[in-house]
Amino acid sequence: MIFPENLIIRDVTLRDGLQNEPVFVETDEKLKWLEGLINSGFQRLEVTSFVHPKWVPCLQDADDLAQQLPLLPGVEYDALVPNRRGLERFLQTNIHNAVFFLSASTHHNQANLNKSTNESLEEARELISETNYHGRGTFGGIATAFVCPYAGVVPYSEVERVAERLVAYGVKELGIGDTIGKATPRMVYEYCSRLSEKFPDIPISLHLHDTYGYGLANVLAGIQAGINMFDVAQAGLGGCPYAPGSPGNIQASRVVDFLEQQGIETGLKADTLKKFDGEFPELLKSKEAVK
């Protein structure tokens, strides 16, 4: 088995963790969360989405938040860019990487983005090219890369087809998502090892949910397949509003503790992350109580 010396852990709490919450966390509070996350050791963080506020009210402050992000050596920020207007907003910020997000399952893509996967790919082509032209990082996020809530198991060939198009269009990284947590370790290993072999020069990350308790086993399967970056959220917050049965992302403190038990370094402070497990949900509860 493969046990690397270290791995990159990317925090997605401020975007994916909050996007489906019924309350709004103010910009100042988000910046406090961000400060705590950076102080705990995170160097890669997904901080917001430039989606229309009507669709994701919790991220309505994307522009204000982006202008106040602390620019620190070694710290990179990612933001989801859904369309041309989103790209225009993104390019007015200092955020490092644009995440272009679509689904391997066209059924989920239709529910999530109101267009087919092929239509989303065509739209992404020009946006990726323009982002590269401006010297920003480009990240192709593939949701429902294993199982779709509407159509069941997604064939590997479809995931590879989408990845191939994104790489051809110029993305510098790929992110593979188990959107509803139904992927098995065997499936994760097979899909990710084939993608790693197909795209040896493209960093590939894994975005997992823990709906059925497979989260940590899937982390280990991803490591064996050559994945070296994993997404986490504090307290397991998050979930896609267009993916029934997707309660949250894999929990940061559990992942870090699991990796440390295998002698794998993450550069993160496990004790601090365990404290966040109580603090972040309590803040959300208090806001909901006074809503």
Vertex 231 angle, CA 20 and 142, to 5°: 75
Phi, psi (degrees; rounded to nearest 5) at 198: -70, -35
Q: Which residue has the tokens 């188990």?
A: 178
E strand map for 32-186: 44-49, 76-80, 97-103, 137-143, 147-148, 152-153, 173-178
Annotated catalytic residues are 240
Q: Which residue has the tokens 């064939």?
A: 155
